[in-house]
Structure 1
Amino acid sequence: MTISQPQSRSYTSPTKQNKATASVTLDNTMGHHPHTNEIKKPIGLDAKLQFNTPKKTRLTVEGPIECSLNGFQLLNSPLFNKGSAFTLEERAAFGLEGLLPAQVNTLDEQVERAYKQLSYLKTPLAKNDFCTSMRIQNKVLFYELVRRHIRELVPIIYTPTEGDAIAAYSHRFRKPEGCFLDITDPDSIDRRLANFGEDKDVDYIVVSDGEGILGIGDQGVGGVRIAISKLALQTLCGGVHPGRVIPVCLDVGTNNKKLATDDLYMGNRFPRIRGEEYDQFLDKFIQAVKKRFPSATLHFEDFGVTTGRPLLQRYRNQLACFNDDIQGTGAVVMASLSAALKNTDRDLLDSQILIYGAGSAGLGIADQITNHMVTKGLTVEQAKARIHLMDVRGLILDNMAESSTPDQHSYSDPAKDWEGYDTKSLLKVVSEIKPTCLIGCSTQAGAFTKQVIQEMYKHNPRPIVFPLSNPTRLHEAFPVDIMEWTDNNAMIATGSPFKPVDGYVISENNNCFAFPGIGLGSVLSRAKIISDTMISAAVDQLADLSPLPKDPKAGLLPPLEVINDTSAKVAAAVILQALKEGNAKIEDEIQPGKDEYVKVPRDFDSCVEWVRSQMWKPEYRPMIKVEHREDIHTHQY
């Protein structure tokens, strides 16, 4: 499949030395393409529409769409397909006459029909299948359907239902999506990525090796679906163009014996390759991304606990990359914690934080809280002394260095302070630490018992409790119980959606409140790297958007229904911080059609409006038939 580049008004980033090549001349009959500065001739009944003024940056998404596809090829392109919404003129121009029923529908009518079809389905997994099918047929319709029913459908297309779909990937496989990179053929990495175009074609990449999927562990090649799901949220919530992204699966084998012995399993069946061969494979992938897509943001997703952090630490200063499990989870939790603390008499710097679960998520949360405390005036050592970690061994102590990772050990409590105490008992640890906030990312269902919560409540009149493990069946406690045990005084955020309890809204600590805004901010600023201070800026902005100060029964986070506005504001905060610290390349680029550089407004409200103008929206736009040009059109499907 081919996509006409002006679908997203992308352009090759010109430098200050070749400013003239970005100039575009327009008249009523022919024009220069903003990428090539070469004259092209329009084809089709709506050709005159294509000569609107070129937009400012590559994520601007207004005006007509140029398309070189025809007939069945067009109907089979999820990015271009409108189904029954193609106008009569478009049907004639694109060879669609006789291929569609006579009635021309609006997007509203299509959404109504799709939602009725969805409503007939009885199980979440069946609804997930329906949404997947729609996404690979018509992306505009898919995103508009989910947008209008976002609270109902995000749990269907993401956690918790997506975890079940990933586990059954090889049995439910219908159509390939994404880029599959095989550790047995590392020399083919660049060739495989080339199927998705070049620098001008791609803004955002999500990559997973499938080892730590949504709390259900090693899912091998099925991990490609978590990359697909995260990109769906990046578009739905953050407005990144769905035709300018790549989901990548790194198939390095699997240690899941059930998968490896399944005759239908579609990935490599050998045990996971680790060590030097794995590291070299990852490095070849990173170098290929840097070479082929130097302007793209790279998002690491659901790597294992022993892999994710070293990978981020190794490459975070080489390119704009981000680990959602570590940084995204930590950012949302820190924002929720900040919002909660504003409704207590406690300050962040005086708080004691107990994190139950010391894997990638738990350590990421600890790191983000540490970073935030440091920005507020503490030293790293002072901040870490206020954060306590527990795992299956109990409270992590400084005499457990041999069995702890270096990152875990950096948060260890002095063993001498705990002599004679049962450090494996969560109840006893809570009794001694008296935590301001108790965070669960252990996947130990029911770990936050009535006794534990009431012990915390004894020392803290407004306990902050975040049971975050996914899926729902693995939650450390349920909100209805926590509220009952604390006389409705607890402030709760969870890892999966829950209904209100006695009128109190339970916020879902969903990463979609952070990573889409951070990702969009990175893309729009053309960030060199994603720094800790950029993420802290996102945290502060998200916390400021909490509705709790105005409504004591509101959630800690903004409602999901305003997620686009939330993401725009988070992105603006990230962009302004990137510009402040000299970490943004966007103002080195020239606006297509103008002999001037891009200028980002420094005023926050104006920057938010600028961000909104760059966000992709699920809407049908006029389509223009053009001839295919290899140097103009991308290779995205």
Structure 2
Amino acid sequence: MRQQNKVLFYELVRRHIRELLPIIYTPTEGDAIAAYSHRFRKPEGCFLDITDPDSIDERLSKFGEAKDIDYVVVSDGEGILGIGDQGMGGIRISIAKAALMTLCGGLHPGRVIAVGLDTGTNNKNLLNDPLYMGNKFPRVRGEEYDIFMEKFITSLTKRFPHAVLHFEDFGVINGRPVLEKYRKVLPCFNDDIQGTGAVVMASMTAALKITKRELLDSQVVIYGAGSAGLGIADQIVNHMVTKGATKEEARAKIHCMDRRGLILDDMHDKSTPAQQSYADSAAEWEGIDTRSLVDVIEKVKPTVLVGCSTQAGAFTEEVIKTMYKHNPRPIIFPLSNPTRLHECVPEDALKWTDFNALVATGSPFKPVEGHVISENNNCFTFPGIGLGAVLSRATVISDTMISAAVDQLAAGSPGIADYKKGLLAPLEVIDETSAQVATAVILQALKEGVAKVEEEESPAGGKVSVPRDFDGCMKWVKEQMWKPVYRPMIKVEHVDSIHTHQY
């Protein structure tokens, strides 16, 4: 349906979004990606092959001219959802996120491109699969990968100079370095690092408001220090900095764990530089089992516990009750996808805390005894951030623009009025939520002087003018958003061209 009738597809999903989002995105999308080559019917998106880098520009050219494209989603398929390296099947995550940009962010479906980078795969099942359609060699690393990425970015900025670039499901090795290298070259962001961080930060902000606690007084344990976990840590730090803390003070309040346990400052040979920026002092943890989540919680006494580990059941009854012992209103976010990989289920987290925990998850769960379980889904953040960047013609997507999105999303929490109603606005009003987030992003971009929209000509003639008040700006945003409605058919009488031209 999405391929054949986009208006019908998007209107159907819009009307039944809670039921259909898990089908067009996670968790069903993960199964579709894993079986991509076996279920292949027709190509969608733009396929770029590391063995043929000179064809990048030609392949991108098939999707239009400079004025035709607003948004590009790209993945190299290495870190797909909770299922890891899926090689060329990763094109489907780009397709899914492009569809969500239309569904939730109101971008015209013809103005978004889904891109897959085929740089090989380390998935042995795919390498040995005779039906696998991607390159059958181990993932290319280092200089060759960097040159390929540079050619892609150069071609993209030349051919579609107004497009916002969305990095999706890159692996730990490349995700952060690629983002840091190019975020000042063109307006871009990494959804797994910044989008995930933003939605978690919004839920955390709402939970702190509900329980009347301050962000700068919080202690956070992040269980799972990969791209998503460190992205959440970064966003918490960025937000704390906007509230008056220094980076060093903010980082001291965050404690990250990976499969080797708590990240300590004497583990340089076992952890990445990004992980080391959150390392605890080894001297302060002498005599404590830093591989034990219970022992770490006993010492830290965290306000917030975040799970990005894909270790199902890691948040045991002992873990939750230890946290509850030191924190009468614990904030617990088991975020790993898909559902079978969650660190705990909301029902257990609530029962083990006498229903005093504030819980948000990474996949959809049904309410538990009247408590709505908000889904910390990136669709609450990246469509609004992306839409705001597109409409403002931002030259960069700054940390403060993302913080503005966080504050706006948190302000719309229904839990502030009644904590049982959840930490995030319901999915049914996602287009309204995205418009609000986009408005906050645009106003921040204008404030920072990185918005170039008012340098353009408006369709009615003259320069574009963006209202500076929130309500006026949001009205303008909504006017720009694509709606899934059929255009009216107007019958035009045929007129013989001989009688209409002057010779």
TM-score by shorter chain over 0.5: yes
For 1:130-169, list aligned pairs within 5 A: 134-169=1-36
Match of 1:436 in 2: 303
1:598 aligns with 2:434: no
Q: Name the aligned partner's letter for residue 603 of structure 1.
A: D
Please point out which of 477, 482, 492 is paired with 1:616. 482
The residue that corresponds to 1:489 in the other structure is 356
Residue 625 of structure 1 deviates from its aligned partner by 9.6
Take 2:490 and 2:359, find their aligned partners in 1: how far apart are those partners?
51
One of 206, 217, 233 as aligned partner of 2:100: 233
Matches for 1:348-387 after TM superposition, within 5 Å? 348-387=215-254
Distance 1:405 1:285 in 2: 26
The offset of 1:344, in angstroms, is 1.6
Task: Give the one of 122, 127, 151 matched to 1:255.
Answer: 122
TM-score by length of 1: 0.77
Which of residues 126, 138, 141 in structure 2 aligns to 1:271? 138
Counterpart residue number, 1:95: none
Q: Distance in 2 between matches of 1:625 and 1:301?
A: 44
Matched residue, 2:495 = none
Equivalences for residues 182-331 of structure 1 within 5 A: 182-331=49-198
Shift of the alpha carbon at 1:624? 6.7
Matches within 5 A, 1:386-425: 386-425=253-292
Shift of residue 551 of structure 1?
Answer: 1.6
Cα distance in 2 for partners of 1:385, 1:391 equals 17
Matches within 5 A, 1:56-67: none
Match of 2:497 in 1: none
Give a deviation string over 1:255-275, Cα, whole Å, max 9, x none. Answer: 101011111111111111111
Give the distance between the partners of 1:257 and 1:554, measured in 2 at CA.
Answer: 44
Alignment match of 1:540 (pick from 393, 402, 407): 407
Deviations along 1:467-499, one digit per CA (max 9) or x if unpaired, are 000000000000011111011110000000000
After TM superposition, give the deviation of residue 623 of structure 1 in Å. 4.7
Q: Which amino acid aligns with 1:319?
A: L
Counterpart CA distance in 2 for 1:204 and 1:480 is 39
Choose between structure 1 and 2 for higher RCO, CA contacts under 8 A separated by at least 6 residues: 1
One-letter amino acid of the counterpart of residue 291, structure 2 = K
C-alpha separation in 1, matches of 2:74 and 2:490: 34
Distance, in Å, in 1 between the alignment partners of 2:249 and 2:459 is 50
CA distance in 2, matches of 1:177, 1:493: 33
Cα distance between partner residues in 1 of 2:373 and 2:350: 10
Corresponding position of 2:46: 179
Q: CA RMSD in A?
A: 0.9
* Structure 1 letter corresponding to 2:466: V
> Identity of paired residues, percent?
75
1:340-378 per-residue CA deviation (whole Å, 9 max, x = no partner) reads: 001224211010000000000000000000000000000
Q: Kindly provide the CA deviation profile for residues 571-610 of structure 1, in whole angstroms up to 9, marking residues without a partner as x.
A: 000000000100011000011232x100000000010110
**C-alpha distance in 2 between matches for 1:545 and 1:604:** 14
- Superposed CA deviations along residues 123-154 of structure 1, whole A, max 9, x for unmatched, are xxxxxxxxxxx101111100011001000000
- What one-letter code is carried by the residue in structure 1 that aligns with 2:470? F
Q: Distance in 1 between matches of 2:138 and 2:260?
A: 27
Point out the more displaced range, 519-528 or 341-350. Answer: 341-350
Aligned counterparts of 2:97 and 2:330: Cα–Cα separation in 1? 31
Q: 1:625 to 1:416 in 2, by over 3 A?
A: farther
| 1:469 aligns with one of 327, 336, 347 | 336
Cα distance, 1:199 vs. partner?
A: 1.0
Check if 1:564 corresponds to 2:416: no
Local SS of the residue matching 1:340:
helix
* Partner Cα separation in structure 1 for residue 477 and residue 46 of structure 2: 29
CA distance change for structure 1 residues 624 and 316 in 2, over 3 Å: closer, same or farther? farther
Say how many residue pairs are matched: 492
Partner SS for 2:115: strand
* Structure 1: gaps of 5 or more residues: 1-133, 627-637
Q: Which amino acid aligns with 1:528?
A: T
Matches of 1:317 and 1:599, distance apart in 2 = 25
- CA distance, structure 1, for counterparts of residue 350 and residue 432 of structure 2: 30
SS of 1:390's equivalent in the other structure is strand
CA distance in 2, matches of 1:624, 1:224: 38
SS at 2:114's partner residue? strand
Structure with higher Rg: it is 1
Q: Which deviations, in whole Å up to 9, do the C-alpha atoms of 1:149-204 show, x marking residues without a partner? A: 00000000000110001000000111110000000000110000000011111000
Tell me which stretches of 4 or more aligned residues in structure 1 moved more than 2 Å. 622-626
Question: What amino acid is aligned across from residue 585 of structure 1 in structure 2?
Answer: K
Q: Specify the alignment match of 2:444 in structure 1.
A: 577
Aligned to 2:419: 552
TM-score, structure 2 normalization:
0.97
Tell me, in whole angstroms, the C-alpha distance in 1 between the residues paired with 2:326 and 2:19. 37
Alpha-carbon distance in structure 1 between the residues aligned to 2:243 and 2:395: 25
State the AA in 1 paired with 2:385. I
Aligned counterparts of 1:539 and 1:209: Cα–Cα separation in 2: 27
Is 1:503 aligned to residue 354 of structure 2?
A: no
Task: Give CA-to-partner distance per residue, 1:410-442, whole Å, 9 cap, x none.
Answer: 000000000010000001001110000000000
* CA distance in 2: counterparts of 1:332 and 1:172, whole angstroms: 33
Following the alignment from structure 2 to structure 1, what is the Cα–Cα distance between the partners of residues 25 and 172? Answer: 21
**3-state SS of paired residue (1:518):** helix
Aligned match of 1:531: 398
Closer, same or farther: CA 623–184 of 1 in aligned 2, 3 Å: farther
SS at match of 1:307: helix
Opposite residue 109 of structure 2, the aligned amino acid is P
CA shift, 1:241, in A, is: 0.6
Structure 1: distance between partners of 2:307 and 2:344: 9
Mapped partners of 1:440, 1:182: distance in 2:
35
Q: Which runs of 5+ in 2 are unaligned?
A: 493-503
Aligned to 2:498: none
- For residues 236 and 517 of structure 1, the distance between their equivalents in structure 2, rounded to whole angstroms, comes to 11
Give SS of 1:389's match.
strand
Distance (whole Å) between structure 2 residues aligned to residue 624 and residue 299 of structure 1: 38
